[in-house]
Chains A and B, each alone.
Chain A
């Protein structure tokens, strides 16, 4: 689909995940194509957005590329190395360089571990701490990076607010100095004023570590702020992929157009001037079409 840039950090080709729906129809079963033949690249220090509504497959893709769940078809290469067929040992080594930040920071934290232990856990597992005092020093350094007070180390998750918990989860994710992070709706459960703090933190870490990211979200303005390029997902397939600004200023696929028009903008004059949201033609989104390049780097699914 895309000419592979020699500099890709992550290459995803034909990635697919099917779920069997039991008991539909006469004694048979139906196949639900949660992710269907998805291909994209992520360059080093690039943030690629995956945007879509519920059931679009965006979160499933995030889990597939880290092999947190098994793919049914396709290929995922990280720095040229096959993730989907790597041995267990090799995968554990690779995971030092690939991390995930999830939506709900509370359920991601272990309520019975102090947040210091929680952040240090990956360092301990990978044998990167020499002593107790070394562990505390490393955790203190991570806390400073994410804007948590060092003296909070011995406290438990319930003593923190949603924004602080997300900082804790991010501190753990960057503990092993990864090259790549999947951020799955990292600010969806946060209030807007706190969301801005967390998005700024992710931007800072990206600059500091030269991080590449796959940023999964349903929020167009957040994706636009965070991502150089964005892929729009519908029914498990990419319907449009391109530079964020181009895609949001001149969406070409009917679904992207509908999505862009539906997003309310915090500007009453723009809202009054907006076009009505286009109506979906039945079946319009369900028919799979191949992606075609309409301008450099801008791909649209069309017949």
Chain B
């Protein structure tokens, strides 16, 4: 997909959770790669596996109840699934940083904001306290927190939600990571704050050349920041490709359903009906045998119900635009039965 050397190559990542009511097939055979300076937007609804696959590849899931398998998650060639714990820790929070949705639960309530940033720097960059503190102030300035020199002495509860999320981003960027993963990082924020944070990440991406994985349910955010979009459903990748190609020429029925069900920002307002996706997402303890979207897909073929289609290059489309589907969506839309 990219001529740049891959930052991340995920190959066949699969996650299972053992629960009293059965095994949850949270993520099944997810593979993709990401180059430096590239932004991958991952969309999907609750239960699609979009967040779990990130926790799995960084080995942040509880070990007792989860089973992770796969041919590898290579970060600059090193397999994260097989690294020893100290080496993995030296990568996490340093060369790979993650920002989660809720900044209050990610920050330590009894440490000052400044301490939480300097802690990261001292752990990973072997610099002295004074230098770390100067760097913390610079980082808070960079994420546009006013009066940073005073605010590093304050505690998380003295910051608003938007400010705390900026702090999380400052911590994530403190070590100049090669890969930033944002998991619904701006979902809980006001749109004006979200816009500022997205602009900031874009700017830093240009300056630092880092790769970004942005996980969201908001197609608008993906349209704004991503080079490549990946659509997940039922723990699998159903479509992936350059944003324009996927938005304007979707090949999977679920992608089309997502695009059509969101109220449009253009065209006439307060009119007509939306086109929802019928039905509800599958119970991943008992997922459908074939294509997970088949039970909700009006275009499903008999084969969809029994066999999962492979992710393959689309016909007559942009190179790198991949789809998992047994049906030919453009043909079906052009000639509805």
Contact = CB atoms under 8 A, between A and B. Distances in A.
Contacts of B192: 53, 258-259, 262, 277
Given A220-B265, A270-B223, A271-B224, 11 more contacts: A193-B277, A194-B276, A196-B262, A200-B273, A203-B273, A245-B268, A245-B270, A264-B195, A264-B224, A271-B223, A277-B199
A-B pairs with the 10 shortest C-beta distances? A264-B220, A196-B276, A225-B263, A193-B277, A262-B195, A53-B190, A266-B219, A191-B45, A196-B274, A196-B261
A262 B190 CA distance: 9
Nearest to A199: B274
Contacts of B244: 268-269
B149 interface: no
Contacts of B266: 265, 267, 270
Nearest to A56: B190
Contacts of B268: 245
Interface string B251-265: 000000111011111
A276 B192 CA distance: 12
Contacts of B46: 191
B269 A195 contact: no
Given A259-B191, A277-B196, A264 B274 contact: no
Contacts of B23: none
Most interface-central of B218, B247, B262, B269 (chain A CB within 10 A): B269
B223 A264 contact: yes
Nearest to A246: B269
A218 B191 contact: yes
B194 interface: yes
A248 interface: yes
A218 B195 CA distance: 14
A47 interface: yes
A100 B196 CA distance: 34
Contacts of A197: 276
A267 B266 CA distance: 10
Interface of A: 47, 53-54, 161, 163-164, 191-197, 199-200, 203, 218, 220-222, 224-228, 244-245, 248, 258-259, 261-271, 276-277
B273 A221 contact: no
Contacts of A218: 190-191
Most interface-central of A163, A196, A264 (chain B CB within 10 A): A264
B182 interface: no
Contacts of B191: 53, 218, 220, 259, 262-264
A3 B156 CA distance: 47
B276 A266 contact: no
B265 A193 contact: no
Given A194-B280, A262-B192, A221 B262 contact: yes
The interface size bin for chain B is 35 or more
A4 to B, nearest CB: 23
Given A224-B265, A258-B192, A259-B192, A192 B280 contact: no
B269 A224 contact: yes
B94 to A, nearest CB: 30
A220 B269 CA distance: 11
A192 B194 contact: no
16 contacts: A163-B280, A192-B45, A192-B261, A193-B45, A195-B261, A218-B190, A225-B274, A226-B270, A228-B270, A259-B192, A264-B223, A264-B224, A265-B220, A266-B219, A269-B244, A277-B195
Contacts of B258: 192-193
A262 B280 contact: no
Contact of B261 (A193, A220, A245): A193
B221 interface: yes
Contacts of A271: 220, 223-224
Contact of A261 (B190, B195, B263, B273): B195
B72 interface: no
B161 interface: yes
Contacts of A196: 261-263, 274-277
A249 to B, nearest CB: 9
B196 A263 contact: no
B243 interface: yes
A227 B273 contact: no
Contacts of A161: 280
A264 B193 CA distance: 12
B270 to A, nearest CB: 5
A277 B196 CA distance: 8
A76 B119 CA distance: 54
A270 to B, nearest CB: 7
B300 to A, nearest CB: 16
B162 to A, nearest CB: 9
B217 interface: yes
A86 B277 CA distance: 44
Contact of A227 (B219, B261, B270, B275): B270
A153 B42 CA distance: 38
A267 B247 contact: yes
A192 B224 contact: no
B275 to A, nearest CB: 7
A262 B264 CA distance: 16
Given A194-B276, A196-B277, A266 B259 contact: yes
A199 B263 contact: yes
A224 B276 contact: no
A264 B225 CA distance: 10
Interface string B148-178: 0000000000000100000000000000000
Contacts of A265: 220, 223-224, 265-266
